[in-house]
Amino acid sequence: MVKFCPKCNNLMLPKDGKLKCAVCGYEEETTAEGSKEYEYKEHLENKKEKITVIESEGLETLPTTRIECPKCGHNEAYWWLQQTRCADEPETRFYKCKKCGHTWREYD
Amino acid sequence: MDMEALKQKIEGLDIPQSLKDELFEKLSKEKDLTEEMVDEIIDEVVNAYRKALVEPYEAVGIVAAQSIGEPGTQMSLPYEEKIIIKEGEFIKPVEIGKLVDEMIERFGFEKIGNSEVCDLPIDIYALSLDQDEKVHWKRIISCIRHKHNGKLIKIKTKSGREITATPYHSFVIRKDNKIIPVKGSELKIGDRIPVVKHIPANCVEAINISDYVSGNYVVDNINNKIAPKINGKSIPNNIKLDYDFGYFIGIYLAEGSVTKYFVSISNVDELILNKIRAFADKLGLNYGEYDNNNGFAESHDIRIYSSTLAEFLSNFGTSSNTKKIAEFVFGANKEFVRGLIRGYFDGDGNVNADRKVIRVTSNSKELIDGIAILLARFNIFSIKTKTKNQFVLIIPHRYAKKFHEEINFSVEKKKSELERLVSSLNDDKTYDSIDMIPSIGDALTKLGEKVDYPKVILKKFERKQKIGRATLQRHLRRIEELAVKKGVNILALKEYWLLKKAVESDVIWDEIVKIEEISCDKKYVYDISVEGLETFTTFDGVLTHNTMRTFHYAGVAEINVTLGLPRMIEIVDARKEPSTPIMTIYLKEEYKDNREKAEEIAKEIESLTLGSIAESISIDLWTQSIKVELDENRLADRGLTIDDVIEAIKKKLKVKIDVDGTTLYLKIKTPSIKALRKRIPKIKNIQLKGIPGIERVLVKKEGGEYVLYTQGSNLREVFKIDGVDTTRTITNNIIEIQEVLGIEAARNAIINEMRNTLEQQGLEVDIRHLMLVADIMTADGEVKPIGRHGVAGEKGSVLARAAFEETVKHLYAAAERGDVDKLKGVIENVIVGKPIYLGTGCVELTIDREYEEGKNMEE
């Protein structure tokens, strides 16, 4: 625990091997030298781990359907939906050809 | 070595308990191992285990879709699909849905993505195919169920087996002499999937009748009797599953029916009738005999009076439409099953030596399916077909010999016909279009060439890429003989063992003849996860594969990119830096195929700051300093030492550094909390290695080469790295391209970026529009934004600029300078109310009206 000044209840900080009240100057001997209480840990984000290597090729997680690609004529395409217009309109269907990667839209 | 010491040694290892147990069991059996040898073995095992561990970032095996939680990409079986499991000694088919639901109810579940997963604490086994193409019982690790999206595919094979699964359920196929998994939706007609031919079984020797009847019965365990409570005859309760009992049940399946009080069997063959009488006598039951000719043929009925027996037999179905194999039979000993099959074939089966078939017909599909599985116990493979309203099971003549040896008939007529069939068969000439081994690669050719086997034959099979099992066996035998003669050691060749394995496999590679899409209205679809190769068998004998546990990405393999309209705005605004700068770095020829080298380069590029590699950074009030803890291993992984770090800090900051092991204390001249805190961000951002600005690098295999994707961009520095292919590497930072590669490259970059952004949105814009924009933006030799600070702010006309933005500023400035506006543009003319200089408005000729009107004609 961090110590508080018994006189004025303010925070006591270490100084020259003693604890000193930052406000009234009350000093106290202490044995808690080097304790973790008087360390402010910095938050460290995005620690670097190993380099990520993705071996598997053509990893697609989208569902597919049978539809002809207008560009290459391939018969299978990935699809997803997106609400591109106002909420009372139907969603826009997006298709992406499995073979040539061509993307196109379909409206209702 | 002393057992206790060994046990302690193994206990102390950092490996899972099951592995410890196995290791101890194996080592304790070896008597003459020295301590060194034991240590070496243990080391090897631990190392192998560590190697097999998966890092949280690593991609393993087939990446399944569940990790992303995408609907419609789940791979499972519908509720009704039956799988074969073994629980204790009992082998039984069970609906996968029933099994999973039951287990989840009993043991609860854990939610993983969209799936409900239940890790089984009890031992249930599934029939699984291993890489050695043998079938083993493997423990089911977990049961999985999840909601589905309605579509299922139904696959039918040449031998009449069927399986229904979601399109993403994976199956296994044979490729390059290996068993590999493949998505259901990628299977096509003509592909071959494995079907079990042989089922290893534990043997149930005896059963208690009381387990299979539910009515009011009195069981007398001392005298081994079971009888109905109200005046009924008793029969033995614990009954041995022997040949005779099996035969009786077989006959019942073919010819029997039950009512509440008696079992009736009709047949005309005296031999069969005698066997039934003998069986009834053995149980001590009364029976009556009736002749009946109410049908189209004369027949003889035997009625055995016992309600207990009648109820027991109803486990096998009560009429010809509902006949089935009771569950306990699948785990019963071979003699019993042999009796059952013979009884059934004696009743319903027939054999035709001229047409070379053994077949049996039934009204019940379930019965035919069951018999097919039982035949698999004897390594006999059967084909299922369907006539108008009957189900037919055909045993191909290739298995006639086996059938003759293992089962045979009792009925004289059938017996002699079978013998005629068997003797007419020439072993070498049998052709079985179903039992073909696909994808043998060049193994046979390679092997054959070693012993100078006729090339024509070898080439033929290499071209066809499939070969009948019997044919392969024959050729293999001849190659073996040749090898002995010529003294070639083919046993050392891996091709020999590959083919040997294929010949001896427990499965038949059955050809797919039909794939159809069907819909399903059940709420859930199901899956199980099995040890080892994760394959399991359905009731129909089709082996399928599960991939539930073989993915791990933990969501880190993503690089965030701005797309769509925001990105378009970014491009035309010619921002100094895009909100998500990314680079695609291609590697030079020598580097691009090598994973290690690609990783090396990635490490060199990825920037490393003190904040990203330190274990912790904190302000220590006792010592009035900033404490930085480091991890030597992590530093070493990036090729850094503590001294490197100290040097880097000293370069950036004026601090005194005390080193205490791997901990650094940074001291400043006039310490205070405020002064220390002020320095923290600077310390965090001290660059230790890599290229500034590149926060993260991802290595991805694409089109056969390793490509690096980075978050953050620094084209100039990246180009300096050895191994980077500067001709293909790109960034999405257009200004950077202009600075490094020049204005023409920037123009191209603008066009490409805009085109890609629009394309991803599925929008089609003619490239000439984009070229026009790019040209205007780059016409002055530097990339200018479209907008008041760029293209629009530099128009020649004062009024046009004033009409766009900052009206007052432009008008003041024009007034001050005395600018002239020629009123050539559209906007200017709209403002002053004149026709615009376009179309008819741009004609500057005037007409001499008087001349036109003919006034001056006389002159």
Q: What is the DSSP letter of B33?
A: -
| pLDDT surpasses 50 at B67 | no
**B796 burial via Cβ count (<10 Å: 0-12, 13-18, 19+):** exposed
Q: What is the pLDDT of residues A87-106, one digit of tens each?
A: 898 888 999 988 888 999 98
d(CA B637, CA B515) in angstroms, rounded, equals 51
| pLDDT surpasses 50 at B70 | no
Residues B459, B465, B470, B476, CA torsion sign: positive
Q: How far is B73 from chain A (nearest CA, A)?
A: 6
| pLDDT surpasses 80 at B108 | no
Q: What is the pLDDT of residues B40-58, one digit of tens each?
A: 888 888 777 766 654 443 3
Cβ pair B59:A47 closer than 8 A:
no
pLDDT for the residue B301: 81
pLDDT for the residue B767: 93
Domains of chain B, residue spans: 3-53, 75-197+511-545, 206-424, 436-504, 608-689, 798-842
| pLDDT surpasses 50 at A8 | yes
Which of A11-20, B646-655, B720-729, B787-796 is predicted most confidently? B720-729
pLDDT for the residue A45: 66
Interface contact A59, partner B, CB < 8 A: yes
Q: From the CB of residue B114, how many other CB atoms can be counted at a distance below 10 Å?
A: 15
Nearest to A13 among B612, B621, B763 (CB): B621
A positions 38-57 inside 8 Å of B (CB): 38-42, 44, 46-57
Instruction: Please report residues of B whose CB lies closer than 8 A to that of A42.
Output: 616-619, 680, 684
| pLDDT surpasses 50 at B840 | yes
pLDDT bracket for residue B66 (50, 70, 90): very low
More confident residue, B177 or B788: B788
Q: What is the pLDDT of residues B327-336, one digit of tens each?
A: 777 777 778 8
Best interface-test mutation with A: which of B63, B622, B695 has the largest number of A CBs within 10 A? B622
pLDDT bracket for residue A62 (50, 70, 90): confident
- Of B193-207, B638-652, B710-724, B731-745, the poorest mean pLDDT is in B193-207
More confident residue, B144 or B815: B815
**Residue pairs spanning A and B at CB distance below 8 A:** 111
d(CA B575, CA B777) in angstroms, rounded, equals 12
Mean pLDDT within B131-147: 74
From residue B191, alpha-carbon distances to B13, B604, B770 in Å are 46, 46, 47
3.40.50.300, 1.10.1740.10, 3.10.28.10, 3.40.630.30: CATH of B206-424: 3.10.28.10
Where b means 16+ CB within 10 Å and e means fewer, B663-701 reads ebbbebeeeeeeebeeebeebbebebbbbebbbbbbbbb
A88 is catalytic: yes
- % of chain B with per-residue pLDDT over 70: 85
Annotated binding residue A24: yes
Best interface-test mutation with B: which of A51, A60, A85 has the largest number of B CBs within 10 A? A51
Mean pLDDT within B676-701: 83
Q: How far is A39 from chain B (nearest CA, A)?
A: 5
From residue B222, alpha-carbon distances to B210, B219, B241, B371 in Å are 14, 9, 20, 35
Q: What are phi and psi of B182, to 5 degrees?
A: -145, 145
From residue B92, alpha-carbon distances to B89, B201, B202 in Å are 10, 11, 12
- Of B552-556, B674-678, B807-811, the poorest mean pLDDT is in B552-556
pLDDT bracket for residue B777 (50, 70, 90): very high
Cβ pair A48:B763 closer than 8 A:
no
Best interface-test mutation with B: which of A33, A48, A56 has the largest number of B CBs within 10 A? A48
Which of B145-154, B338-347, B766-775 is predicted most confidently? B766-775
Interface contact A108, partner B, CB < 8 A: no
Q: What is the pLDDT of residues B491-522, one digit of tens each?
A: 777 777 777 777 777 777 777 777 777 776 67
pLDDT for the residue A35: 61
pLDDT for the residue B730: 92
| pLDDT surpasses 80 at B754 | yes
- Closest-approach residue (CA) in chain A for B638: A50
* Predicted-assembly ipTM surpassing the 0.90 threshold: no
More confident residue, A69 or B518: A69
Mean pLDDT within B633-659: 79
Q: What is the pLDDT of residues B603-631, one digit of tens each?
A: 888 888 887 778 788 887 777 788 888 87
Q: What is the pLDDT of residues A17-57, one digit of tens each?
A: 777 787 887 877 776 555 667 777 777 765 666 677 776 65
Q: Which residues, 6+ apart, have CB-to-CB distance to B648 below 8 Å?
A: B610, B686, B687, B688
Cβ pair B59:A50 closer than 8 A:
no
Q: How far is A50 from chain B (nearest CA, A)?
A: 8
**Token couple for B607:** 């920037």
Mean pLDDT within B447-467: 74
More confident residue, B316 or B731: B731
Nearest to B621 among A14, A54, A57 (CB): A14
| pLDDT surpasses 90 at B529 | no
B75-197+511-545 CATH: 2.170.16.10
| pLDDT surpasses 50 at B259 | yes
Q: From the CB of residue B230, how many other CB atoms can be counted at a distance below 10 Å?
A: 8
pLDDT for the residue B69: 28
- Closest-approach residue (CA) in chain A for B621: A38
Annotated binding residue A97: yes
Cβ pair A54:B617 closer than 8 A:
no
Radius of gyration of chain B from its Cα atoms, rounded to whole angstroms = 41
- Strands (E) in B578-655, as ranges, are 582-585, 608-609, 616-620, 625-629
- Closest-approach residue (CA) in chain B for A61: B65
Annotated binding residue A86: no
Nearest to A40 among B556, B618, B761 (CB): B618
| pLDDT surpasses 80 at A81 | yes
More confident residue, B837 or B443: B837
pTM: predicted TM-score of the whole model, two decimal places: 0.46
State in words which class domain A59-107 has.
mainly beta
Architecture of domain B798-842: Orthogonal Bundle (1.10)
Cβ pair B684:A44 closer than 8 A:
yes
Q: How does strand B582-585 pair with strand B178-183?
A: unpaired
Q: What are phi and psi of B761, to 5 degrees?
A: -90, 0
**Which residues are B178's β-sheet partners?**
B175
Q: How far is A8 from chain B (nearest CA, A)?
A: 21
pLDDT for the residue B740: 93
Domains of chain A, residue spans: 1-41, 59-107
Nearest to B68 among A38, A54, A61 (CB): A61
Q: What is the DSSP letter of B236?
A: E
pLDDT for the residue B446: 74
Which of B169-173, B226-230, B441-445, B855-859 is predicted most confidently? B226-230
- Mean pLDDT, chain B, as a whole number? 77
